[in-house]
């Protein structure tokens, strides 16, 4: 009987002790959760130092964190106002800057970036980094994106950016590119590795820069508002400009064109098609005047090209 009572007493004590431990752990976890919801992790010390220098991280100490409420006060974040070029490798913490409309992180050492939480962005500068992919599917308010001079081979979410006007992807590694965006007006993709290009889903494009790629054909039939096409230094053999009545600037030097008809492009004021070895005659209509023309010595404008 005594042993049984002792056992019951010990069991009760153990149960009470267990409850105390569980309660203590729960309290500790609750305390741990409180600061984690108030603070953002900023593991990159250079990133945090810039935030301190600009008075954004108000604790003024490089300690790997900052108050979330400090980040939420920022609407414009320019990481290039200080002398920390080429130092930032990690933008973890950017997800807390939920109210920024402008982000510039130029000339850093970024290999990736997640801007999915920055849904109010309308301007994004990411040039001169080492990005290989870029996901903008959550950034529907974007108006301008500059991501030139990276290592990009893929960009997704452009069709969701229904206000996007200008996209600069020059000096990257795209081999093929297909654009579906009805708001886009200006596309710059020079110095890539493009062999295939389709902008039929962007009917409001006004200018395209496609120099120094490997394109041998381009279909412009779905881009009737095009005013400027710069496509020099490719391997173009033929191009149809009949559906480009607004075209004013056409640069196609250093290609492989064999024929060219600009007789329907009465708005054209600057034509540069020199260094196309197999193109000797450029067809124009009678009385058509083109103020600026750049031709090789073996080329001529003519109303009748056989």
Tell me how far apart the alpha carbons of residues 239 and 186 are, in angstroms, rounded to a whole number. 20
Contact between residue 65 and residue 39 where contact means Cβ atoms under 8 Å apart:
yes
Q: What is the structure's pLDDT at 194?
A: 98
pLDDT at 225 over 60: yes
Over range 75-79, report the average pLDDT. Answer: 97
| 12 has pLDDT over 50 | no
What per-residue confidence (pLDDT) applies to 81?
Answer: 82
For the chain, give me the number of helices (H) and strands (E)?
A: 3, 20
> Domain 72-302: what homologous superfamily?
Ribonuclease Inhibitor (3.80.10.10)
Mean pLDDT computed over 187-214: 98
- pLDDT, residue 34, reads 38
Q: Which residues contact 255 (CB under 8 A, 6 or more apart)?
A: 231, 232, 233, 234, 235, 236, 237, 273, 275, 276
Neighbouring C-beta atoms of residue 9, cutoff 10 Å: 10
Q: 208 and 228 in contact (C-beta within 8 Å)?
A: yes
Q: Which residue has the higher pLDDT, 58 or 10?
A: 58
Q: What are the tokens at 27?
A: 């309290």
What per-residue confidence (pLDDT) applies to 175?
98
Question: Please, what's the largest Cα pairwise distance for the chain?
Answer: 122
Q: What is the CA radius of gyration of the chain?
A: 30
pLDDT of residue 36: 62
Query: Residues in the chain, how many?
Result: 306
pLDDT, residue 112, reads: 97
pTM above 0.85, yes or no: yes
Taking the CB of residue 222, how many other CB atoms lie within 10 A of it? 14
């Amino acid at each position: 009987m005594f042993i049984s009572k002792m056992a019951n007493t010990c069991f009760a004590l153990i149960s009470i002790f267990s409850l105390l431990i569980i309660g203590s752990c729960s309290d500790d976890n609750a305390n741990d959760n409180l600061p984690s919801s108030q603070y953002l992790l900023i593991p990159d010390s250079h990133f945090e130092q810039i935030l301190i220098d600009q008075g954004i991280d108000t604790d003024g100490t490089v300690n790997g964190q900052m108050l979330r409420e400090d980040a939420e006060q920022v609407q414009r974040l320019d990481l290039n106002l200080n002398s920390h070029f080429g130092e930032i490798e990690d933008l973890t913490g950017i997800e807390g800057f939920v109210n920024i409309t402008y982000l510039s992180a130029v000339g850093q050492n970024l290999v990736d970036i997640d801007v999915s939480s920055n849904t109010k962005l309308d301007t994004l500068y990411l040039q001169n980094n080492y990005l290989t992919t870029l996901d903008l599917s959550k950034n529907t308010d974007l108006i301008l994106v500059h991501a030139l001079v990276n290592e990009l081979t893929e960009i997704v979410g452009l069709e969701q950016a229904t206000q996007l006007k200008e996209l600069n992807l020059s000096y990257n590694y795209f081999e093929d590119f297909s654009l579906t965006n009805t708001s886009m007006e200006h596309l710059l993709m020079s110095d890539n590795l493009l062999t295939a290009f389709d902008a039929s889903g962007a009917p409001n494009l006004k200018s395209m820069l496609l120099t120094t790629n490997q394109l041998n054909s381009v279909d412009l039939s779905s881009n009737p508002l095009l005013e400027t096409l710069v496509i020099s230094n490719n391997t173009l053999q033929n191009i149809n400009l009949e559906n480009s009545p607004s075209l004013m600037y056409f640069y196609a030097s250093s290609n492989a064109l064999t024929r060219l008809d600009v007789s329907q492009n009465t708005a054209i004021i600057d034509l540069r098609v020199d260094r196309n070895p197999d193109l000797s005659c450029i067809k124009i209509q009678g009385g058509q005047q083109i103020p600026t023309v750049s031709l090789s010595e073996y080329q001529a404008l003519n109303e009748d090209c056989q």
